[in-house]
Structure 1
Amino acid sequence: MKAVRFSRFGGPEVLEIVDLPDPRPGPGEVRIAVRAAGVNPSDWKKRQGLMDEGLPQTLGYEAAGVVDEVGEGVDDVAVGDRVFGFSVEGAAQAELAVLSYFAPIPGALGFAEAAALPAAIETAARALDQLGVGGGTLLVNGASGSVGSAAVQLAVARGARVIGTASPANHAYLRTLGAVPVEYGDGLAERVRALAPGGVDLALDVAGSGVLPELIGLAGGAGNVVTLADFGGAREHGVRFSSGDSGRAVHVLGEIGGLIGSGRFSLPVARTFPLAEVAEAHRVGEEGRVRGKLVLVAG
């Protein structure tokens, strides 16, 4: 099969399309003919050598496609079914991929839209679970990106009032998601208190922009704050850093269809690229100028 791989660290130019052996699903897994695979910031971090030291490496943790082989013990999907989910081996940007966690694609979605979901919704749901979001007021720092907008919508669906930080250009977008927008930057705490005079109940840092002390003050303590992006700040200020190492919120894969069907959740796809143009997808993603997910699609 064709797959994305790199054998040295560097810029997008190190990415190659190579022939690799077809993967086989293990117990509880399925193999799919990949129709679309999401592209995430973790992909270029891996490519730059910021995550894993070994070489060579494949890429891709989320994909959507058609089941073409099922592993032992799988009885909830069959060959020919449309599914989306996670490749824990990080090899979803390929013609074939093994999914360890998966669910049927919601009927209203195409393959590209489904492939855009897993990483964003799992990351957001995991952080909300760790915070115990079920109501009250939640502040989301960095609310307009894929994970931030997923967190906003999932929190609203749980009954929370959400205040979200973003640049003014994204404030109208946040309102469509159900959040009260506020501009980030100097004076953030004062602007939030103008909307929530007593502070907020909980805070989620998606952006990692060095505002953990302000979030701690607004949320009444480090125990009420989770960060997805500021590992050093979390250690310094006693804030929980959320990562998949502590368990994944894969339950959201099966739950998201209901929210999508009722019009309470959407995640836009900004652009799609053929698998062979993965390097260009990385260049566009690293520029940071798109709102929504970048997705590789089968040719």
Structure 2
Amino acid sequence: MRAVTYRENGGPEVLRVSDVPVPDPGPGEVRVRLAVAGVNPTDWKSRRGTPPSGGLQVPGQDGAGTVEAVGQGVDPAVLGQRVWVWEAAWQRPHGTAAEHTVVPVRQAVLLGAEASFELGAALGIPFLTAHRCLTLGEAVPDRLGPGALTGRTVLVQGGAGAVGNAAVQLARWADATVIATVSSPRKAQLAAAAGASHVVDYRQQDVVAEVRKVAPKGVDAIVEVSAARNAAVDAQVIGMHGAVAMYADDGGAEVTIPVRAQMGPNARWNFVLVYTEPARAKVMGVEDVNAAVLDRAIGVGEDAGLPLHVFGLAATADAHRAVEAGAVGKVLIDVTA
């Protein structure tokens, strides 16, 4: 099969399209013939910093395709089913930038007949991260669904990014009032398309003042893309028993939090890495995200505030470059091209 591989850490130039054996599923695993793969920041960060497993690594955590083989103990009824795949390459060699991948059966989630493979490949890391960020505080429930966030206000810092977009879509599905911050009119359009109730251009507006207009008593949850830059703002707009969820790292930056000001509301400041989150939280995230898919409540593309940038398998290095350069929207790999 064709697969993108690398044997040593480095820039995108270490990626090669190789002819490698089709992997066989072991006990409890399935093999998926991939149609589309997703590219996330952790893909290029791992390529630059994490030694390949067994000397050869196929990158890519997320993807979508069809189950074509099952291992021992797996119900053969899943054969031929359309699925979305998450965390394929986490501590495993078989990522999704390939024609086939092998994952534990729980990491191949039924996609249904109506959702596109492009949506399936965009779910994994961004939507599971967003789910975790939206369910960490005492003022919010640990499950999402229609009505789960009724009466709550969520602030999404960076509402036009992949995780920001996912947070806006999931929070709106759960009936929250969503405030999104952005850095340009174009990104404001995308955040609004995703479903943000209010959009604030932080380069043109006072974020604290604008948020307080919507939520005079503060917000219940903050999904934070740049904690080092936004901590002072977050501290001023967090509400009683609210929580800040920090899911991205500004190149090793440190966060300063005004302790006394956060004691009053009993605020929480949480760190989020989806790969190592508690197993129960991950199960709930997968279930809730899939429920949103089945409800047709989330999507990809311009209409959903998430423009798609699609590359062929042979251009995976360019896809990595696009993500590393901060492409606005979702970068995908058409494995069949």
Q: Look up the match of 1:152.
A: 168
SS at match of 1:57: coil
Higher mean C-alpha deviation, range 185-194 or range 276-285: 185-194
* Offset, 1:157: 1.8
Which of residues 271, 280, 286 is equivalent to 1:241? 271
Q: Write the mapping of 1:208-247 to structure 2, written as runs, cut at 5 A.
A: 208=227, 210-220=229-239, 224-230=243-249, 236-237=256-257, 239-243=269-273, 244-247=275-278
Q: Percent identity?
A: 35
CA distance in 1, matches of 2:78, 2:293: 23
2 CA distance for matches of 1:226 and 1:105?
28
Distance 1:33 1:6, change over 3 A: same
Deviation digits for residues 102-122 of structure 1 (CA, Å, limit 9, x no counterpart) = 211232223233212222211
> Contact conserved, 1:210 with 1:233, CA < 8 A, in 2?
no
For each residue in 1:46-81, what CA deviation from the matched residue of structure 2 results, as whole angstroms up to 9, or x when unmatched? 2222xx245543201111111111123322842222
Once the two structures are superposed, residues 169-194 of structure 1 have per-residue CA deviations (whole angstroms, 9 ceiling, x without a partner) of 22233223321111124732222223
Secondary structure of residue in 2 paired with 1:48: helix
TM-score, normalised to structure 1's length? 0.87
For 2:76 and 2:192, how far apart are their aligned partners in 1?
38
Cα deviation for residue 211 of structure 1 reads 0.6
Amino acid at match of 1:217: Q
After TM superposition, give the deviation of residue 94 of structure 1 in Å. 1.2
Distance 1:286 1:279, change over 3 A: same
* TM score, norm. by length of structure 2: 0.78
Aligned length: 297
Q: Within 5 Å, which residues of 2 pair with 1:9-158?
A: 9-49=9-49, 52-54=50-52, 56-75=56-75, 77-86=77-86, 87=88, 88=90, 89=92, 91-100=95-104, 101-131=107-137, 132-133=140-141, 134-135=148-149, 136-158=152-174
Q: Distance in 1 between matches of 2:25 and 2:329?
A: 34
Displacement of 1:252: 4.2
- Seen in structure 2, the aligned counterparts of structure 1 residues 210 and 56 have a Cα distance that, compared at 3 Å, is farther
Separation in 1 of the partners of 2:201 and 2:135?
26
Q: C-alpha deviations, 1:214-259, integer Å up to 9, x for none?
A: 2122114796111101486676547211112123524444444543
**Partners of 2:114 and 2:249 in 1: how far apart?**
35
Q: Deviations over 1:12-53 (max 9, x none)?
A: 21111123333232333211111111111111112222xx24
1:164-243 map, 5 Å: 164-167=180-183, 168-179=185-196, 180-185=198-203, 187-208=206-227, 210-220=229-239, 224-230=243-249, 236-237=256-257, 239-243=269-273
Task: Indicate the residue corresponding to 1:163 in structure 2.
Answer: 179
Offset from partner CA, 1:117-161 (integer Å, 9 cap, x none): 222211111222223354211111111112111111111222211
Q: Aligned partners of 2:256 and 2:75: how far apart in 1?
A: 47
Q: Distance in 1 between matches of 2:118 and 2:98?
A: 14
5+ residue gaps, structure 1, are none
Distance apart, 1:201 and its partner CA: 1.8
Corresponding residue SS for 1:272: strand
Moved more, 170-179 or 229-238: 229-238
Greater Cα offset, 251-260 or 152-161:
251-260
Counterpart CA distance in 1 for 2:326 and 2:311 is 16
